[in-house]
Amino acid sequence: MTTTTSTTTSTTASSSTRPVIASADDVLDLAPVIPVVVVDSVEQAVPLARALVRGGIPVIEITLRSSAGLGAIEAVASQVEGMVVGAGTVVTPEQVQQVKDAGAQFIVTPGSPPRLLDAALASGLPLLAGAGTLTEMLTLAEAGLTAMKFFPAEASGGRPYLSAVSGPCPQLRFCPTGGITPETAAAWLDLPNVGCVGGSWLTPKDAVAQGDWGRIETLASESAALRHG
């Protein structure tokens, strides 16, 4: 199997060191937890991502919630071996093209309005589109998606709601994100339609600001040990 990742400079991470991601279902299978990350500077991104990889988490969602987000995606995509980098909080069609150009390997959106959904699907990148209701989930299923983001997870009905969804929609799989903690993650992962969860606890703001990569590696290791029970 071949990939289209370019290796034109010595600082570019080789595509052979990354898992091949063909669909959003593949993203859900990378790790029990996808770290949802906000960085304040591009310089934080590479050591942070390397700490996650050392801890056994080979996937990261770098959000566009800060001005450093796009540059951080590009830095991690080009410099961190073994890491699958996704772009989160993608909310406009223009951002879809920007994150693709930066090297994102998948896209995460908080919702799925028509123009955004069309642009994300047209990009060819795996998409975890956000859905918080059964109607939104079925709309994404009509577009051919079987893996999606359940967001905001706790505010949208939590585990009871997502468990109920598995009855009429057993073919759908989810990455619940929003309000999930280290204490509740395992219970979410026990649901049959949950492939992984998204969480920000792996990269605490103070640890990132202080460059405490050892702490982040430890949190990643603990999260990597979570399994469906």
Q: Is 61 a catalytic residue?
A: yes
Query: Nearest 5 degrees, angle CA 10-CA 15-CA 21?
Result: 155
Query: Nearest 5 degrees, angle CA 150-CA 154-CA 156?
Result: 60
Query: Using H for helix, E for strand and C for coil, what is the string for the chain?
Result: CCCCCCCCCCCCCCHHHCCCCCCHHHHHCCCCEEEEECCCCHHHHHHHHHHHHHCCCCEEEEECCCCCHHHHHHHHHHHCCCCEEEEECCCCHHHHHHHHHHCCCEEECCCCCHHHHHHHHHCCCCEECEECCHHHHHHHHHCCCCEEEECCCCCCCHHHHHHHHCCCCCCCEEEEECCCCCCCHHHHHCCCCECCEEECCCCCHHHHHHCCHHHHHHHHHHHHCCCCC
Q: Which of 61, 136, 154, 217 is catalytic?
A: 61
Q: Cis link prior to 168 (omega < 30° from 0)?
A: no
Q: Is 94 a catalytic residue?
A: no
Q: Which of 74, 149, 154, 217 is catalytic?
A: 149
**Which residues belong to the active site?**
61, 149
